[in-house]
Structure 1
Amino acid sequence: MPLKIELKPSERLIINGALIRNLDRKATLLVEGRCKFLRESEIIRESEADTPCKKLCVTLQVLYLADDPTAPENLFVQQSTELMGLMPSAGPFLLAIHDAIAAQEYHRAIKLGKQLVAHEAASREASAA
């Protein structure tokens, strides 16, 4: 089943490791066949990964786009273990992410990672209040 992707002006997209940038008009792409893709709005850049959960999300992105997921999977396990020590409330999120990875649903794992980042931000706000 083809995948229809609409890009806003200047929006970027990664498809199978290639960065695609739309120019000055809205564009519609029809992708036929399986591919790995991330919209710019889904991407957390390494330079923006200033919290443990954001760093874990970068690892999930690398895991999703990697041809060989072994090294990023090992890093995910290490980061998850460290994160559990720092923020035990992350446990249910990490379990759901782990289950998505085990099922090779990497795009879903990234979305769950974004939920974890939101949880981390809410936890920080609550502890600051």
Structure 2
Amino acid sequence: MALKLSLKPDEKLVINGAVIANADRRATLIVHNKASILREKDILQEEQVDTPAKRIYFPIMLMYMDNAPTPKYYDEFVVRMTEFMHAISTPEAVENCVGISRDVMDRNYYRALMNCKKLIAFENARLAPSSE
């Protein structure tokens, strides 16, 4: 089944490592085969990796975009996930971490990334200043 992507003006995406930028109008792309695709909003630059959950997301993103098994990225993921899981006790967050780990082991990196976004949201909620 083909993947249909609607791009906003000036939106960027990465397809199998190639950065593609849309021009000044909306555009639609149809991808007919399996490819590693990330929209601009799902891409973290190294300087944006400033929280524990983002330190988990980043190596998963690199594994997804690399397409070849890279022990360096996997090892970084394992270290960061282990640190994170030692620091949390919320059952829902622990369950999410287990699911992300399972997805990474199964090389289902895109699903792991999308679930890691939930982990980032969980972290943001915990780190947000209380309104007292």
TM-score, L = length of structure 1: 0.90
Shift of 1:125: 2.6
Tell me, in whole angstroms, the C-alpha distance in 2 between the residues paired with 1:85 and 1:30. 42
Tell me, in whole angstroms, the C-alpha distance in 2 between the residues paired with 1:104 and 1:60. 10
Tell me: CA distance 1:86–1:97, structure 2 relative to 1, closer, same or farther (3 Å).
same
What CA RMSD, in Å, does the superposition of the two structures yield over aligned residues? 1.7
Q: Which runs of 5+ in 1 are unaligned?
A: none
Tell me, in whole angstroms, the C-alpha distance in 2 between the residues paired with 1:128 and 1:19. 41
Contact 1:9/1:22, CA 8 A, preserved across alignment: yes
Instruction: List per-residue Cα deviations over 1:62-109 (Å, max 9, x = no partner).
Output: 011122232211111111111123333342221010111122211000
TM-score, L = length of structure 2: 0.88
Shift of 1:126: 6.9
Tell me, in whole angstroms, the C-alpha distance in 2 between the residues paired with 1:63 and 1:99. 14
Quote the residue 2:53 is aligned against: 53
Q: Which runs of 5+ in 2 are unaligned?
A: none
- What number of residue pairs does the alignment pair up? 129
* 1:50 partner SS: coil
Does residue 68 (structure 1) correspond to residue 106 (structure 2)? The answer is no
* 2:69 partner SS: coil
Does residue 112 (structure 1) correspond to residue 115 (structure 2)? The answer is yes
Contact 1:46/1:55, CA 8 A, preserved across alignment: no
**Identity, % of aligned pairs?**
36
* 1:23 partner SS: coil
